[in-house]
Amino acid sequence: MALIETKDLWKKYQMGAETVNALRGVTIAIERGEYVAIMGPSGSGKSTLMNLIGCLDTPSSGEYFLNGKAVAGMNDDELANIRNREIGFVFQTFNLLPRATALHNVELPLIYNGSSATERRAMAEDALGRVELTDRMHHKPNELSGGQRQRVAIARALVNKPSLILADEPTGNLDSKTSIDIMRLFDQLHRLGNTIILVTHEPDIAKHARRVLSIFDGQIASDEVVPEHTRMTYQS
Partner 1 sequence: MITGSILRLSFAALWANKLRSGLTLLGIIIGVTSVITIISALEGMQDSIEAEFDKMGPATFFVQRIAMAMSEKEWLEKIKRKPLREEYTAMIEEGCDLCEKVSPGTWGQSDVKYGDRSLRDVPVVGVTSNRIEIVDLEVAEGRFHSAEDDLHKRRVAFIGHKVYEELFNGLDPIGKDIRVAGRKYTVIGLGKEVGGLFGAEQDERIYIPFSTHRRDFGSFDRGIHIVVKALSVAQLPEAMDQVRMVLRSARHVSFDKPDDFDVLTADTILEVLNNATRLFRFGLFGISMISIVVGGIVVMNIMMVAVTERTREIGIRKAVGAKQNHILMQFLFEALITTLLGGVIGIVLGFFIAKAVIAMININISPSGLAIAMGLTISTSVGLVFGIFPAMKAARMDPIKALSYE
**For binding to partner 1 (CB under 8 A), which residues are involved?**
51, 54, 56-57, 76-77, 80-81, 83-85, 89, 91, 95-97, 99, 108-109, 111-117, 156, 160
- Least separation, in Å, of the C-beta of 80 and partner 1? 5
Torsions phi, psi of 148, nearest 5?
Answer: -65, -40
Helix axes 146-158, 117-130, angle to 10 degrees: 130
Nearer to partner 1, 18 or 76 (CB): 76
Closer residue to partner 1 in complex, CB, 59/208: 59
Q: How far is the CB of 166 from partner 1 (least distance, A)?
A: 10
How far apart CA 143 and CA 86 sit, in angstroms, is: 30
Nearer to partner 1, 116 or 230 (CB): 116
Nearest approach, Cβ of residue 233 and partner 1 (Å): 29
DSSP 34-60: -EEEEE--TTSSHHHHHHHHTTSS--S
- Alpha carbons 63 and 59: distance in angstroms, whole number: 8
Shortest distance in whole angstroms from residue 182 CB to partner 1: 19
> Cα–Cα distance between 89 and 155 in angstroms, integer?
10
For partner 1, the closer CB: 22 or 37? 22
